[in-house]
Every structure is written in C-alpha cells, then in structure tokens.
C-alpha cells in the first residue's frame, strides 16, 4: 500500500505524520486490495478563526476512488473522525465482498442433480464411451456432409461459419441426413 501525506498552508510535524500513518495502518485489517492512501492536511483561516480540513483519497482495486473529507477546529479530531469514517466504509465494503460467498440454493440443487447423473453414468460405463471433437475450426455444411458420407459415423459435430455448434446425422432412411 502506497501512502502519501501532503500539507497545504501548514508545516507537518513528525507527531502529525506519525498520527496519520498510524491511522492508515488500521485500514489493513479489512483485507482489501488497497493500492494507495493519500492524506491531505489543509489549514484555513476565516474571520480570524483557524480551522483544519483533512482528506483521505483511497484507491482500492476493482472499485472507484474513495474520497473522505473532514473539517474541524482541531487537527487531531479531524484525523480521528475521518479515520472512523474510512473504517466504516471499508468494513461495509469488506462485508459486501465477503458476505456473498454463501452457497446458493441453485448450486445445491445442481450438485444433487450432477450426483444423480454421475451415478447413472457409472451404471452405463461399459456402454457409453466419451468421444472428443476432432476439429474445432469452422467448416461449411457441405464439407461436413462429405466427411460424414465418407466415414461410417452416425453423426458429425462441427462449428459452422457463423460459429454455431451444429450436428449433422444420418437418418434411418437410406441416403438422407438431418441437421441440427
């Protein structure tokens, strides 16, 4: 995680930098792919009153940039409040990412169906022999028909020129073919 601290109209002391770095280190506990965290400290004076603006700019992988600003009269309070807001955001995002890994009902039903199919295939193991496609390149229907006529095969599976999976098969009547 890359970090950067910038001070605008303020000189950053080592104590302020350490406080910001300690705050940034707490973001690692959420196990998110945080690319960079930039911190901007600004000092503003209006009508004789001094205020501070603290800003976190966070880049997280597979997510837009997150910007959180906090204004306060005290710089340490602004840093702490902004840190709490970032932690709340990161916790929610982490829960959203990790909470959707539960097994869905559709997956459970599919697994049971696959188990039933596997048991049926074991019974028919001697009768059914798996065959791989010989050619994955597209071919014309005429070429597939000529290949099927030249061989003793019952059917031919191929991709046509539009990249559709097609099946050409022999009909029981002599000399006729079906196309799916």
Domain that holds residue 23: 2-99
Q: Are 36 and 58 in contact (CB under 8 A)?
A: yes
Tell me which of 74 and 165 has the higher pLDDT: 74
Residue with the bigger pLDDT between 130 and 152: it is 152
pLDDT tens across 13-31, in order? Answer: 999 999 999 999 999 998 8
Alpha-carbon torsion, ordered 145, 150, 156, 158, to 10 deg: -60
- Write out pLDDT tens, residues 135-148: 667 888 898 899 88
Residue 30: which CATH number? 3.30.160.100
CATH number of the domain at 141, please. 3.30.505.50
> Could you tell me if residue 107 is inside a domain?
no
Q: What confidence tens digit (pLDDT) does each residue in 166-177 have?
A: 898 988 887 888
- Could you tell me if 62 and 33 are in contact, meaning their C-beta atoms sit under 8 angstroms apart? yes
Asked if residue 87 and residue 34 are part of one domain, the reply reads yes
The confidence band for 95, taking pLDDT boundaries of 50, 70 and 90, is confident
Tens of pLDDT, residues 97-124:
877 665 655 555 566 667 777 777 777 7
Distance (Å, whole) CA 89 – CA 108: 33
Instruction: Give pLDDT tens digits for 38-90.
Output: 999 999 998 889 999 999 999 998 888 999 999 999 999 999 999 999 999 99
For residue 96, count CB atoms less than 10 angstroms from its CB and return exposed for 0-12, middle for 13-18, buried for 19 or more.
exposed
Is the domain of 81 the same as that of 16? yes
The pLDDT, as a whole number, for residue 85 is 96
């Amino acid at each position: 995680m890359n970090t950067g601290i910038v001070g605008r109209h303020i000189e950053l002391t080592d104590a302020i930098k350490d406080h910001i770095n300690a705050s940034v280190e707490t973001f690692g506990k959420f196990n998110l792919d945080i690319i960079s965290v930039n911190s901007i400290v600004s000092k503003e004076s209006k009508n004789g009153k001094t205020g501070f603006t603290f800003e976190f700019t966070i880049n997280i992988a597979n997510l837009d940039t997150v910007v959180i600003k906090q204004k306060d009269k005290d710089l340490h309070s602004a840093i702490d409040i902004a840190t709490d807001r970032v932690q709340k955001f990161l916790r929610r995002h982490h829960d959203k990412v990790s909470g959707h890994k539960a097994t869905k009902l559709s997956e459970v039903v599919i697994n049971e169906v696959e188990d039933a199919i596997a048991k049926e295939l074991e019974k028919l193991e001697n009768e059914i022999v798996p065959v791989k496609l010989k050619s994955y390149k597209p071919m014309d229907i005429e070429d597939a028909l000529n290949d099927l006529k030249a061989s003793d095969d019952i059917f031919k599976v191929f991709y046509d020129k539009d990249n559709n999976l097609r099946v050409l098969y022999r009909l029981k009547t002599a000399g006729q073919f079906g196309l799916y």
